[in-house]
A and B are shown apart, each in its own frame.
Chain A
Amino acid sequence: MTDLTQLTLRQAHQALESGECSSLELTRATLERIERLEPKLHAFITLTPELALEQAAQADQLRARWRREGGELPPLLGLPLAVKDLLCLAGVRCTCGSRILENFIPPYTATSVERLLTAGMVVIGKTNTDEYAMGSSTENSAYGPTRNPWNLRHVPGGSSGGSAAAVSARLAAAALGTDTGGSVRQPASFCGITGLKPTYGRVSRYGLVAYGSSLDSVGAFGRTAQDVALVFSQMAGYDRRDATSMDLPLPAIQLEDDDSSLAGLRIGVPDEYFIQGIQPEVENAVRRAIVSFEALGAFVSPVSLPHTEYALPVYYLIAPAEASANLARYDGIRFGARLDSDNILDLFTRTRGQMFGAEVKRRIMLGTYALSAGYYDAYYGQAQKVRTLIKRDFEQAFEKVDLIAAPVAPSTAFRFDEHLDDPLAMYLEDVFTLPANLAGVPGLAFPVGFDSNNLPIGMQLMGPHFREDLLFRAAHAYQQTTDWHQRAPSLS
């Protein structure tokens, strides 16, 4: 009997189609595996087994009707999905990895999640995250860290560490994450799976608890580019509840099983991403992958993104500034935790001071300072202008190439507590992923090898605005001719 949890979305769909298994069986198998492995991994903050079984039963009913009436079985019907605990699901608590929202139950569902529910997916739980998406290792979760399925002493990456670990450990074939500064691509890379950061404005942010509003995006994890494309196609598109969602048609993303030619595709390799300090095995694996693209027919050439080194200071002024305002609503009045007092000032400062984690407080302080009177021009103001330069770098590069290839992180998954008292060192982990968020361009991360410690190495492709189709096409071709993405961590 096939281990149902090892199936990709595509394979699981075929199994449901052929009647080889039911959604209930698939869901139960998933929940059993979770029960076994969760104590080790802690990928989830809240599991929703009853809800999942209910949804699976409904999916099976719809499948029975399809069997009678014919037509096409919807590709995501009855398949389990994990959702990062930053995306609201009505009636289920949404903690955002924070103590402040420990008991917050939203009365609304995020549009991205809603669309996948409409497509028939089964939500098995809310995954662990750095508090309010602020972090690169999921160590900042108030509910304890998640462990990397490839090595339990190493971080899974962050902030979507829970979702990445879940997919990597086969606790779900697909999961939703969010990417504001690399929080989908970096954990995908650390956990050896495929992860998409869509173009800003491509997927609705309604129901996504805001961190950096001009940078946030809802992304997806899967074990193949095909799977991720499936989830993306379903959740993307204009939403009238999000004034920053673009009303543009989705390109058809057809990824056939023998699609592996990239003739005509121009890939640029930016020197600025291959800096000193990258783990040599990471650089080698990425360069080897780029050679593979050439072998598949792509034309590879150098490009320059001259302002890359400034992405980090720009991001760490803009994101905290927006966050400082986005997190001002946590005041203990309408929802969330509250440490009462006899005056309002204390109510606010005590609740927030004692219930936000250190990283969150640090970024709120940083953001408040960057916006404050007398400092706005030098910090936030200047950062906004340099952001324009970074965006223009990409625009100019995309006049010459179709895609840009680069590493995702300077190293493979690091150990817990590696950057314990050095926030700046932690921030430096994000150097390669931040630029895409600042420019709003889409990025797709996928595995290209392993280091000598058997930790996964990922690379990313970045494309012009709204050209996710190019990313999927290239990654899919690569995955047709390599098997890094098929390797699984050895967990019992």
Chain B
Amino acid sequence: MLTLQEVEHIAILARLELSAEEKERFRRQLSAILEYAARLQELDTSGIPPTSSVLPPRSVLRPDAVEPGLSVEELLKNAPRSENGQFRVPPVLGLE
């Protein structure tokens, strides 16, 4: 059902590097799952609103008041690579 190309496309969208073996395995497994999920098409949902939250809609808002956040040290404590208080990433985007 899913082609190898489609699997590769999704993997790029999701930023996941997959081995050739993984691509084929996922292709099979995801196809089976999606085929099973296709049974939802049996149901007539015309006029049925989607549920994006089980809670009733109401505005939950916060007052506009400043509160202390994290210090640079705390934020950078978990950082893999940093420089002068900033996070460091490779200079090239890599998107062609």
Cβ distance B13 to chain A, nearest Cβ, rounded Å:
5
**How far is B50's CA from A317's CA once the two chains are assembled, in angstroms?**
14
Could you say which of A122-130, A357-365, A475-483 contacts chain B? A357-365
Among A313-344, those with CB < 8 Å from B are 313-314, 316-317, 324, 328, 331-338, 340-344
A372 to B81, CA, bound (A): 32
Q: Is the CB of B54 within 8 A of A200?
A: yes
Chain B 27-53: CB-based contact to A (< 8 A → 1; otherwise 0) = 001101110111111010100111111
A348 on interface, CB distance cutoff 8 Å: yes
Contact B55 A244 (CB under 8 A): yes
Interface string of B64-84 (1 = CB under 8 A from A): 000000100011011111000
CA distance A427 to B30 in the complex (A): 12
Question: Looking at the complex, which one of B14, B41, B81 makes contact with A382 (CB distance below 8 Å)?
Answer: B41
A349 is an interface residue with CB less than 8 A from chain B: yes
Task: Tell me, yes or no, whether B18 is within 8 Å of chain A by CB.
Answer: yes
Asked if residues A348 and B50 are in contact (CB atoms below 8 Å), the reply is: no
Interface pair B60/A333, CB less than 8 Å apart: no
CB atoms of B54 and A369 under 8 A apart: no
Q: Are A352 and B16 in contact (CB under 8 A)?
A: yes
Among A1-9, A15-23, A385-393, the stretch in contact with B:
A385-393
Chain A residues contacting B22 (CB-CB under 8 Å) are 358, 361
Q: Is the CB of A314 within 8 A of B40?
A: yes
* Nearest-Cβ distance from residue A333 to partner chain B, whole angstroms: 5
**Residues on B with beta carbons closer than 8 Å to the beta carbon of A200:** 54-55
Q: How distant is the Cα of A404 from the Cα of B8 in the complex, in angstroms?
A: 44
User: Which residues of A116-165 are within 8 A (CB) of B?
Assistant: none
Report yes or no: B52 in contact with A316, Cβ–Cβ below 8 A.
no
A334-B87, A352-B16, A381-B50 given as contacts; is B92 within 8 A of A343 (CB)? yes
**Contact A379 to B16, CB < 8 A, known contacts A334-B87, A423-B29:** no
| B77 contact set on A, CB distance < 8 A | 105, 107
Interfacial chain A residues near B20, Cβ < 8 Å? none
Task: Kindly supply a per-residue 1/0 record for chain A positions 344-381, scoring 1 wherever the CB is within 8 Å of any chain B CB and 0 otherwise.
Answer: 11111110111010100110111011001000001101
A439 and B39 CA atoms in complex are apart in Å by: 20
Q: Is the CB of B30 within 8 A of A387?
A: no
Contact B78 A338 (CB under 8 A): no
Is A214 within 8 A of B52, CB to CB?
A: yes
Chain B CB within 8 A of A97 CB: no
**Contacting B94 at CB < 8 Å: which of A337, A346, A365?**
A346
- Once A246-B55, A353-B16 are accepted as A-B contacts, the answer to whether A386 and B34 lie under 8 Å apart by CB is no
A424 on the B face (CB < 8 A): yes
Chain B residue nearest to A93 in the complex (CB):
B78
Q: Which of A333, A361, A389 contacts B87 (CB 8 A)?
A: A333
Shortest Cβ distance from B10 into chain A, in angstroms?
Answer: 5
Given the complex, which residues of A lie within 8 Å of B16, measured CB to CB? Answer: 349, 352-353, 356, 361, 364-365
Q: A391 near B54 (CB under 8 angstroms)?
A: yes
A-chain residues with CB within 8 Å of residue B54 when the two chains form the complex: 200-201, 214, 391, 438-440, 465
> In the complex, are the beta carbons of A372 and B79 less than 8 A apart?
no
Q: Are A310 and B17 in contact (CB under 8 A)?
A: no
C-alpha spacing A369/B93, complex, angstroms: 24
Out of A240, A246, A336, A388, name the residue touching B48 (CB < 8 Å): A388
Contact with A along B85-96 (1 / 0, CB 8 A): 001011011110
Q: Are B18 and A361 in contact (CB under 8 A)?
A: yes
Min C-beta distance of A229 to chain B, whole Å: 23
Smallest CB separation, B23 vs chain A (Å)? 10
**Contact assessment for A362 and B45 in the assembled complex, using a CB-CB cutoff below 8 Å:** no
Interface pair B26/A344, CB less than 8 Å apart: no
* Contact, CB under 8 Å: B14 / A368: yes
Q: Is the C-beta of A231 less than 8 angstroms from some C-beta in chain B?
A: no
Residues of B within 8 A of A51 (CB): none
Bound Cα distance A56, B56 (Å): 41
Q: Is the CB of A338 within 8 A of B92?
A: no
* B contact residues vs A (CB 8 Å cutoff): 2, 6-7, 10-18, 22, 26, 29-30, 32-34, 36-41, 43, 45, 48-55, 60, 62, 70, 74-75, 77-81, 87, 89-90, 92-95
| Sampled A-B contacts (7; CB under 8 Å) | A103-B78, A105-B77, A107-B74, A200-B55, A338-B80, A379-B37, A438-B54
Identify 11 new A-B residue pairs, CB closer than 8 A, beyond the known A343-B90, A366-B33, A387-B50: A244-B53, A246-B55, A310-B39, A313-B37, A331-B15, A337-B80, A338-B81, A345-B95, A350-B17, A385-B49, A424-B33
